[in-house]
């Protein structure tokens, strides 16, 4: 099977950390990804809610193909294309509002990504977590149909309505070296479910990392298991995602 491999980052390649900037990349992961990319003829990309520039810092010195901000940004082989913060004046106003109104809350983080914004409450007490979720819901409602709210693991993110990982993967599949291959996507969160469904619809394989209800057909328990699998594939093992455990 000639596959095109798409990998989420947080919770898939690396364990989720209490704060986004505290994520640790396992030594050797970059070498594994580079070796596997070579074996796949270049058909490997990171598909993430992070900005592409942040992924580049985590995976330096590699500059893998990547889709960032849930598909707002995309890079295939060269320059990154996508939206600039200045293209989103209404969102910028809501970012300022979120920063101001969340200031009295403890352990609530506003992650400003330019063309999207995420509110994290993983470390907050239950009362402040509830208030943080209410704030991000209110901002999404105020923005209307041009943006949408997607909820994940103790995070709510406002993104442009047209931005999904499903659209990003389909865009990759229209150009070399991805075209004509079978798409395979690994993800861990409910924000990945749209992409799981899309990949399956297109004849590919969706792999859920961790527990929880899913439309994916295959499952691995955690990022450590993902990394072990990728190391095996990079070292010459049989690349057969259809043989992974059923979800």
Residue with tokens 């047209």: 162
DSSP 7: E
Q: What is the dihedral sign for C-alpha 120, 152, 149, 82?
A: positive
Catalytic option among 2, 8, 87, 141 = 8
Q: Is the peptide bond before 137 cis (omega within 30 degrees of 0)?
A: no
Residues 9 and 46: beta-carbon distance below 8 Å: yes
Catalytic annotation present for 128: no
DSSP 81: B
Q: Which residues contact 80 (CB under 8 A, 6 or more apart)?
A: 52, 53, 66, 68, 73, 74
Q: Any idea which residues carry the catalytic annotation?
A: 8
């Amino acid at each position: 099977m000639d596959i095109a491999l798409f990998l989420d980052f947080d919770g898939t390649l690396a364990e989720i950390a209490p704060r986004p900037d505290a994520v640790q990349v396992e030594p050797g992961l970059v070498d594994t990804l580079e070796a596997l990319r070579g074996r796949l003829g270049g058909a490997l990309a990171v598909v993430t809610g992070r900005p592409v520039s942040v992924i580049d810092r985590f995976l330096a010195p590699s500059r893998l193909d990547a889709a960032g901000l849930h598909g707002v940004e995309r890079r295939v082989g060269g320059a990154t294309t996508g939206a600039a913060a200045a293209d989103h004046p209404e969102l910028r106003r809501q970012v300022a509002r979120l920063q101001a109104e969340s200031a009295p809350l403890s352990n609530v983080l506003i992650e400003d990504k330019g063309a999207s914004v995420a509110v994290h409450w993983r470390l907050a007490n239950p009362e402040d977590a509830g208030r943080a979720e209410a704030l991000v819901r209110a901002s999404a409602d105020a923005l209307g149909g041009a943006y949408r709210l997607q909820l994940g693991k103790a995070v709510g993110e406002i993104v442009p309505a047209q931005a999904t990982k499903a659209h990003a993967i389909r865009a990759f599949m229209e150009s070399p070296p991805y075209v004509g291959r079978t798409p395979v996507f690994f993800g861990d969160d409910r924000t990945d479910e749209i992409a799981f469904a899309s990949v399956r619809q297109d004849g590919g394989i969706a792999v859920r990392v961790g527990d929880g209800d899913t439309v994916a057909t295959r499952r691995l328990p955690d990022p450590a298991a993902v990394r072990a699998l990728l190391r095996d594939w990079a070292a010459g093992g049989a690349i057969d995602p259809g043989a992974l455990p059923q979800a």
